[in-house]
Structure 1
Amino acid sequence: MGLTVLSAPSARRQRSRQQLLEIIRSHPGGVTRSYLSALTGLSRSAVAEGVQDLLPGGLVVEQREHGRGLNRSRGRPSSLLVPAAPSGAVVGIDLGHTHISVALARTDGELLAEQRESFDVDNRAEAAVDDAARLVETLVTHSGLTMADVLGVAAGIPCPLDPVSGRTRPLGDHPTWSDFDVREELSRRLGRQVRVANDAEMGAHGERRFGAARGCRDFLYVKASHGLGAGLVLNGEVYRGATGAAGEIGHIQLPGAQGLCRCGNRGCLETVVSIDALRHQLEELHLPGLPSSSNGPLTSLGANPVAARIVTEGGRVLGHVLADLCNCLNPAAIVIGGELGTAGQPLLEGVRESIHHYALSASAHAVDIRTAQLGLRSELMGAVSQAIEHALIQA
């Protein structure tokens, strides 16, 4: 009996496989086979062959879209192809306006440890970086690891970041954040290169990889907290603008609004719709069930008809602004996170009402409005996602 000789993959097939691997690695949130075919121009059978070559080698992992993913087709859910991560740990840091959160995770996204502390981040930039580094070292040590086991670190910060210099570009009255090199300061303290991005962008990364925007290539993530900001994902890429200030929707002017904003202008959206503005209205009415913590979820507000009405009206105001963005960008989804996003259905009702009233019909019917699946942890998990991506690049 003669021997069967297995021939090596053709040069064309090898090139196709490498092209597919590069695309999958550049989309850590996952891509479908049909998207790979559309992007590369390869036939479905060629994509299937290339993916079949990658899966056994452990370079790519196949995951089912599940839960609140944005695949609207009926029947069997699509499979997402995601890059396989090296074995090890990563660290995510979320510097919010009034808190510091740190998470230690495996490179597949499984959390090992997490800690959150209240902190005046807005007015104590350098101290906030010190505290974040201390929390990281504590989590790593208590988990039986060392910093040598950490393959990637990423952090979200509450202000725009200049894409060229990497320094902060604060919009408000927080001088300690002016021209501050967060990347350099954190990297020096931790002895590791740290990826840094605006917190709303990190929220978009978190929901895209682990939450409500999985499989979505065009969406807005709105962080509605003490301020309002948006992470923009357009055609699968994060859009930051010419100077890193894209998505600062909290400073869009509202006709008739006169409140003084932290940016120095009057009538900005966040003077009317933000967690602080909402809490002020609710406290004036002495409504029961208001969370005492400035970082607490607002899920209980829906049980009170008056509180729910106030939240819905805030959603209408926010929705009016988002309707204009729908007309400009035509996103497939808008994911609302931050403390205000935890108010749930009363907020979504107002947002949907305004978008359907003010946006073009084609845009309004195309967009899916939903709250963040990760709740108050979208930004933190986005930092974890970016740390994993950094580990993949270094592998």
Structure 2
Amino acid sequence: MDGNDSASLSARRKRTRDQVLAILAQHSSGLTRAGLSRMTGLSASAISDCVASLRSSGLVAESAAGTGGATGRGRRATVISLVNDEGVVVGIDFGHAHVTAAVATTTGELLERRADVLDVDHRPGPVMDVAAELARSCVERSGHTMDDVLGIAAGIPGPLDIRTQVVRPPTILSDWVGLAPAAELARRLGHPVTIGNDADMGARGEQAYGAARGLEDFLYIKASHGIGAGIVIGGRPYRGATGIAGEIGHTQIPDAVNWCRCGSRGCLETVVSITTVRRQLAHVLATHQTALDESAIPPLFELSDNPAAARVLTEAGRTVGRVLADLVNCLNPAALVLGGELGSAGEPFAAGIRESVARYAQPASAQAAEVITGQLGAEAEVRGAVAAAVAATRQRLTAVS
């Protein structure tokens, strides 16, 4: 076997191990070898080789199944499950106006969660301090210490250069430009940190624990103060050459003229954002006797039955859907998973997106792309950070073994 064949075999085995570990992480009670073969599409021999390797690495355990698990001539089936490490992982989500931290087991079970409301965009130093304190507090309240932490991951709401791990200039998170968030958090927490874009983390959360489970090709749309897309192709996140793929909030909208924070006019997020939509809702929900303050608007999903509010949300969906239709034509995803405050607004927003995708995307691609609301809501990004921390931990342990 020459060097190329050996490298190809090694890469294939690594993909198999990663695939099996990812499936087992979603099934805390374990799976039989036959179940693993069915869910991964791998042959019985490939599963057998992979399980043997993972057992020798200490990553999985094999135990007898309960009653009813017999196979063949009365031989009882065995169940493969991830070894429950005694340690924990930490996920951190930076929004534009909040920081959330969570602690979970290595199977993704949440143990503790804390959040704080603050201005994230303009005070990166103090924001990092708050995030570190929230993470330490979560670890302590879960009954663990920082010595028990096996992995940490975080998502930020802006462009991060994956080559340098530094926030890119010159637009979103302008006060963060030149900052290396992973290094800053690692210095405060004493552990290496995996960092990524918040929309990518949201996609990862829905893929591991929510509406995108089992999907190989989908877009996660985080529609909130900004609008970004987490792109998953072939089961893996697509980040582009430098890590800033998916910044759809800065797509130009015809006839839109408002200035955007990126320095351009007419970007999607100047027309559709949670701030803009709340302002519109405050106007249509006001009575001739009483003006309505934006802060008094109830959660958007409670407004679906209000005809005027539903019109606002549907029109917002149509505008976002016009941009998504081009992505549907280019990428042919199986689903558009909606997240963020707007994405969680319910059927009117989703219906507007469906309408535009059906109208502007090619019919075959539009028919293939199901528009669905995410299952995790505001937790998608922090759950995605947990999933990223689990994956980084598994990758490190596998590499060591």
Q: TM-score scaled to structure 1, two decimals?
A: 0.83
- C-alpha change, 1:376 and 1:61, in structure 2 (3 Å) is farther
Q: Secondary structure of 1:348's partner?
A: helix
1:182-197 alignment, distance < 5 Å: 182-197=181-196
Matching residue of 1:262:
261
Deviation at 1:36, TM superposition (A): 4.3
> Quick one: distance in 2 between partners of 1:392 and 1:122?
32
After superposition, where does 1:222-301 map in structure 2 within 5 Å? Answer: 222-287=221-286, 292=295, 297-301=299-303
Moved more, 84-93 or 48-57: 48-57
Q: Aligned residue for 1:311?
A: 313
Q: Cα offset for 1:347?
A: 0.7
Amino acid at match of 1:201: D
Q: 2:37 aligns with which of 33, 38, 41?
A: 33
Number of equivalences: 359
Task: State the distance in 1 between where 2:145 and 2:48 align.
Answer: 41
- Gap runs ≥5 in structure 2: 1-9, 27-34, 63-79
Q: Tell me which of 18, 24, 32 is aligned to 2:20.
A: 24
Instruction: Look up the SS of the partner of 1:303 in the other structure.
Output: coil
CA RMSD of superposed structures (Å): 3.0
Please list the CA deviations of residues 81-132 of structure 1 after superposition, one character each: whole Å capped at 9, or x if unmatched: 9966633211100010000001011111111111111110011111110100
- Counterparts of 1:204 and 1:369 in 2: how far apart (Å)? 14
Summarize the alignment of residues 347-366 of structure 1 with structure 2, pairs less than 5 Å apart.
347-366=349-368
What is the alpha-carbon distance in structure 2 between the residues aligned to residue 36 and residue 136 of structure 1? 34
What residue identity is the alignment partner of 1:292? S
- 1:10 corresponds in structure 2 to none
Change (3 A) 1:238 1:258: same
Q: What displacement does 1:245 show?
A: 1.4
Q: Structure 1's 379 and 145: CA in aligned 2 closer, same or farther, altered over 3 A?
A: same
**Which AA in structure 1 matches 2:167?**
T
What SS does structure 1 have at the residue aligned with 2:191? Answer: coil
When residues 162 and 99 of structure 1 are mapped into structure 2, their CA distance, relative to the original with a 3 A threshold, is same
Gaps of 5+ in 1: 1-13, 63-80
* Distance change in 2, residues 1:217/1:171 (3 Å): farther
Structure number having the greater helix percentage: 2
1:1-395 equivalent positions in 2, closer than 5 A: 20-25=16-21, 33=37, 36-37=40-41, 44-47=43-46, 49-50=48-49, 59=59, 86-170=85-169, 172=171, 174-287=173-286, 292=295, 297-395=299-397
CA contact (8 A) 1:297 1:342 kept: no
Instruction: Indicate if the aligned counterparts of 1:86 and 1:391 stay in contact, CA closer than 8 A.
Output: no
**Preserved contact between residue 85 and residue 388 of structure 1 (Cα < 8 Å):** no
What secondary structure, in the 3-state scheme, does the structure 2 residue paired with 1:246 have? coil
Q: Deviations over 1:234-280 (max 9, x none)?
A: 11221111122110000000111111111111111111111111011
Asked whether the 8 Å contact 2:99–2:117 carries over to 1, the reply is: yes
CA–CA distance in 1 between the matches of 2:247 and 2:12? 40
Are residues 49 and 304 of structure 1, via their aligned partners in 2, closer, same or farther at CA, if it must alter by over 3 Å?
same
Q: Which amino acid aligns with 1:168?
A: V
SS in 1 for 2:206: helix
Q: Give the aligned residue type for 1:24.
A: V
Give the conservation status (yes or no) of the 8 Å contact 1:28–1:389.
no
* Equivalent residue letter for 1:122: D
Alpha-carbon distance in 1 for matches of 2:92, 2:101? 5
User: 1:340 Cα shift?
Assistant: 0.5
Partners of 1:155 and 1:293 in 2: CA distance? 31
